[in-house]
Amino acid sequence: MSILLNALKRLVSDTLSLLLPAHCPVCGEQLLEQEKFVCTACRYRAPMTNFWREPDNPMARKFWGLLPIERASAFIWFIEESRWRDLIHTFKYRKGWLAAQRMGEWYGAEMMRAGALEGIDLIIPVPLHWRKRLARGYNQSEYIADGIARSSGVAVDKHSVRRTRNNPSQAQRSRNERWDNVEGIFKVVRADRLRARHILIVDDVFTTGATISSCAEAIIEACEGDVRISIATLAVSKRALGDF
Ligand SMILES: [Zn+2]
């Protein structure tokens, strides 16, 4: 019963927050009518990487010699102590799915403008293990993918790849351990739908690249190499690219 009651409470508070005047999640200022989600001033000052405009960027270079990734980009820098970082952290908590979707929409629009989504046939969000998805109630990467789909018209496929292992937190691990930790955690269940297509794999934050690489590898193997892969994440830390 308490689960139902909580769900009802959440629904009421979510509905109320949609009706009340919206505030910018970055600076906290009340939004003007024509402003969507993040205010104009914050959009202007957003710490964008601009990687999607430059195919030869530090994130794309991380895959050289490891995996045949066509394009790789992140939208914004994951800066410690910044409100943008807080915003991305909220993706994993209550109501965070809406923020994830809106940010995805914005990123999708920027990529469209730069031609960075040309030729992409399908968007695949990095799946969560079903147990984690159940506990959280949603997969934030699915909402980022939905946002990119809204801006681009490209279809999202949430069912062809599954996460078969719920890997423990990566935070306390060394770089090598992180790579071992995610090996073989994804399984492609419908390779026929992915074969010969250009797939954009979407995730929230690029840290070591281990998880998204493992996902890409599973798809490439399942399609016996007959697939093209690009990668888009909403954020990347400078540290992640620096120590490469
Ligand atoms: Zn703002």
pLDDT, one tens digit for every residue, the chain (244 residues): 566 777 776 676 666 555 566 889 999 999 998 888 899 999 999 999 999 999 999 999 999 999 999 999 999 998 888 899 888 888 887 778 889 999 999 999 999 999 999 999 999 999 999 888 888 888 999 999 999 999 999 999 999 999 998 766 655 666 666 666 677 889 999 999 999 999 999 999 998 899 999 999 999 999 999 999 999 999 998 888 875 4
Q: For residue 50, report the distance from its CA to the centre of ligand 1, in Å.
A: 20
> Are 58 and 83 in a shared domain?
yes
> Does the pTM of the predicted model rise above 0.85?
yes
Indicate if 115 and 236 belong to the same structural domain: yes
Q: 27 CA distance to ligand 1 centroid (A)?
A: 4
How far is residue 45 CA from its own chain's centroid? 21
Instruction: Output the CA 79–ligand 1 centroid distance in Å.
Output: 16
**Residue at a domain's end among 27, 45, 63:** 45
Best CA proximity match to 198, nearest among 242, 163, 157, 138: 157
In sequence order, what are the residues at sequence separation of 6 or more whose Cβ sits closer than 8 angstroms to the Cβ of residue 65?
none
Together in a domain, 19 and 128: no
> Which tokens in the block code for residue 184?
């073989």
Q: Are residues 20 and 68 in the same domain?
A: no
Give the structural domain span for 29.
Answer: 1-45
DSSP 196-237: T-EEEEEEEEESSSHHHHHHHHHHHHHTTT--EEEEEEEEE-
**Does 9 share its domain with 91?**
no
- Cα 45 to ligand 1 centre (Å): 9
pLDDT score recorded for residue 169: 60
CA-CA distance, 79 to 89, in Å (whole number)?
A: 12
How far is it, in rounded angstroms, from Cα 53 to Cα 113?
A: 9
Q: How far is the CA of 28 from the centre of ligand 1 (A)?
A: 6
CATH for 166? 3.40.50
Residue among 202, 217, 212 at smallest CA distance from 125? 202
Do 28 and 76 reside in the same domain of the chain?
no
Q: In what order do the strands lie in the sheet with 122-125?
A: 69-77, 228-236, 198-206, 122-125, 155-156
**pLDDT value at residue 137:** 86
What's the pLDDT at 171?
58
Q: What is the whole-number distance in angstroms between the Cα of residue 196 and the centre of ligand 1?
A: 42
Say if residue 129 is in the same domain as residue 189. Answer: yes
Same domain, 25 and 59: no
Taking CA atoms, 31 is separated from 21, 26, 44, 91, 164, in Å, by 7, 11, 15, 20, 42
As for how many domains the chain has, the answer is: 2
Q: Quick one: 165 and 192 in the same domain?
A: yes
At 244 the pLDDT is 43
Q: What is the pLDDT of residue 34?
A: 87
112 and 38: one domain?
Answer: no
Question: Which helix H or strand E contains 136, and what residues bound it?
Answer: helix 130-136
Q: Are residues 59 and 164 in the same domain?
A: yes
State the pLDDT at residue 135.
86
CA angle 36, 202, 115 (to 5 degrees): 70
